[in-house]
Structure 1
Amino acid sequence: MEQLQVGTLSITWLRGGVTHMDGGAMFGVVPKPLWSKKYPVNEKNQIELRTDPLLLQWQGKKILIESGIGKGKLTEKQRRNYGVEEESDIHASLEELSLSVEDIDIILMTHLHFDHASGLTEPDGNKHKSTFPNAVIYVSEVEWNEMREPNIRSKNTYWKENWEAIQHQVQTFKETYEVLPGLNLYHTGGHSDGHAIITLEEGDEYLIHMADLMPTHAHKNPLWVLAYDDYPMTSIYAKEKWITDAVSQDAWFIFYHDARYRALKWNDSFEITHEVKRNS
């Protein structure tokens, strides 16, 4: 498991599973000859997208960003359609760090699509139970409302199995919320109506998790948005604003989906100056 230490902040990427999604859908209207130079693609036109939660150990708290794809949650058809070759192994990942799911204090959810939220619950007989029973789960109010009452488009990704067992743990916010000093959630919309991003300030260092506004390093161009985005122009606006500001602050960009990089820094010319690569 890869780690990044920034001052007193420790980040560890847990094993949350992997999907392989259609490259064309992941890069929207961008022609394949362009995006395929930036990110590897297989013979099925699929790109690898990790679903690895970030464990933050900071300010005396154990915090997860996202929850993984879960284990035993998908049907064979879903595993095939989403190119799932590996499911979550969160329990074992935490055990390697001498931790357990009961030790998680806080979970930050940028949004609740199945590939981010399936790890919040796990099968328990013919029901589901909370995977992290002692955690407070933060998510935007707009996202939480749509999760429970999805529309004709979003019902394929918002599943009751992922929210019914954890609803008593959820705390919502509207536009911004400071979870801890220096740890903030910001509602952006774009990818979903309730999508949010996360920023962290540790000493002089600034870190940002753009979530599915920029799922991989290859999506840094503000115009390279997903066909899955519900509000692409909102995504473009948010990317322009947040990426430009973060680069100007020499920020660490931290990723959930990227199959190559866990974290990196860009200079003003978008050359990588620091990186944490994923071990193969």
Structure 2
Amino acid sequence: MERIERNGLSITWLNGGVTHMDGGAMFGVVPKPLWSKRYPHNDKNQIELRTDPFLIEKDGYRILVESGIGKGRLTDKQKRNFGVTEESSLEKDLEALYLSRKDIDFVLMTHMHFDHATGLVMDVDGEDVPVFDNAFVITSEVEWNEMKHPNIRSINTYWEKNWKAIESKVKTFQDEIEIIPGIRLIHTGGHSEGHSILVIEHEGETFLHLADIMPTEAHSNVLWVLAYDDYPITSIHEKEKWQTFAKEQEAYILFYHDYKYRAIKWNKNGEIVDSIIRKS
């Protein structure tokens, strides 16, 4: 497991499963000859997109960011359609850290699409129950409302089975919420109307999780946005705004989906000055 260690802060990536999605959809109007130079694809034109949550440990709290695709929650047809080659082993990873799912205090959800939210619920004796028994699930009010009342387009990714069992544990916010000092979720919109990003500030350092307005390092070009984005112009605006902030702060950008990078730091000239690579 890859890990960032600081005095009083750790960020550890866990295995939440692997999907393979259509490369054209993931890069929108960008021609394949361009995006394929930046991100590998298979013979089905699919690109590997991990769904790996990361665990933040700070001030005695254990905070999970995103939840992966879970285990045993997808049908064979869904696994085939979404190119799933591996399901979550999150509990095993927690055990390696001498933790369990009961030790999680908060689960921060940048949005509730299936590839982020399916790991929130599990089946026990034929009944859906929360995976993280003692945790509050935090997401934006707009996102939660759409999760429960999807439209004709979003119904394919907001699934009832991913929210009913956790409804009593969900806490929503509007513009911004500070979970604990130094850790904030900020509503951006873009990828979905309720999409949020995560900002971690600790002892002079900044870490950003831009979630699906910048799902991989290859999406660093502000104009390279997803065909899945509901509001692509908003995605472009927010990505440009937060990339500028990241460069000014020389912040690490953290990734949930990238097949290779866990985190990257750019300097003010846009040059990579540090990175954390996923171990095979």
8 A Cα contact 1:6 1:205, kept in partner: no
Q: Say if 2:260 is the partner of 1:260.
A: yes
Consecutive unaligned residues of structure 2, counting only runs of 5 or more, are: none
Q: Deviations over 1:194-229 (max 9, x none)?
A: 000000000010010000000001101111000000
Amino acid at match of 1:222: V
Q: Deviations over 1:106-130 (max 9, x none)?
A: 1100000000000000112333110
1:191-270 → structure 2 map (5 Å cutoff): 191-270=191-270
Aligned length: 280
Partners of 1:96 and 1:34 in 2: CA distance: 40
Partners of 2:163 and 2:17 in 1: CA distance: 19
1:7-26 → structure 2 map (5 Å cutoff): 7-26=7-26
Residue matched to 1:52: 52
1:183-198 → structure 2 map (5 Å cutoff): 183-198=183-198
Residue matched to 1:101: 101
Amino acid at match of 2:19: T
| SS of 1:115 mapped into structure 2 | helix
| SS of 1:199 mapped into structure 2 | strand
Partners of 1:140 and 1:251 in 2: CA distance: 24
8 A Cα contact 2:209 2:255, kept in partner: yes
8 A Cα contact 2:246 2:266, kept in partner: no
| SS of 1:246 mapped into structure 2 | helix
| SS of 1:137 mapped into structure 2 | strand
- Identity rate, percent: 61
Residue matched to 1:137: 137
Q: Say if 2:86 is the partner of 1:86.
A: yes
Q: Say if 2:125 is the partner of 1:125.
A: yes
| SS of 2:52 mapped into structure 1 | coil
8 A Cα contact 2:213 2:235, kept in partner: yes
Partners of 2:7 and 2:108 in 1: CA distance: 21
8 A Cα contact 2:71 2:88, kept in partner: yes
Partners of 1:212 and 1:133 in 2: CA distance: 27
Q: What is the CA distance between 1:7 and its match in structure 2? A: 3.1
Residue matched to 1:155: 155
Amino acid at match of 1:229: D
Partners of 1:221 and 1:259 in 2: CA distance: 18
Partners of 2:267 and 2:43 in 1: CA distance: 33
Partners of 1:267 and 1:32 in 2: CA distance: 28
| SS of 2:79 mapped into structure 1 | helix
Q: Give the TM-score, by structure 1 length.
A: 0.99
Partners of 1:111 and 1:90 in 2: CA distance: 19
Q: Deviations over 1:2-47 (max 9, x none)?
A: 1111332101111100000000000000011111111111111111
Q: What is the CA distance between 1:271 and its match in structure 2? A: 1.9
Residue matched to 1:173: 173
Amino acid at match of 2:174: K
Residue matched to 2:279: 279
| SS of 1:29 mapped into structure 2 | coil
Consecutive unaligned residues of structure 1, counting only runs of 5 or more, are: none
Q: Deviations over 1:249-268 (max 9, x none)?
A: 10000010011000110123
Structure 1: 4+ residue segments shifted above 6 A: none
Q: Deviations over 1:161-183 (max 9, x none)?
A: 11001111100000011111111
Q: Deviations over 1:142-172 (max 9, x none)?
A: 0000000100000000011110011111000
| SS of 2:134 mapped into structure 1 | coil
Q: Deviations over 1:55-74 (max 9, x none)?
A: 01111100000001011010
Partners of 1:216 and 1:235 in 2: CA distance: 14
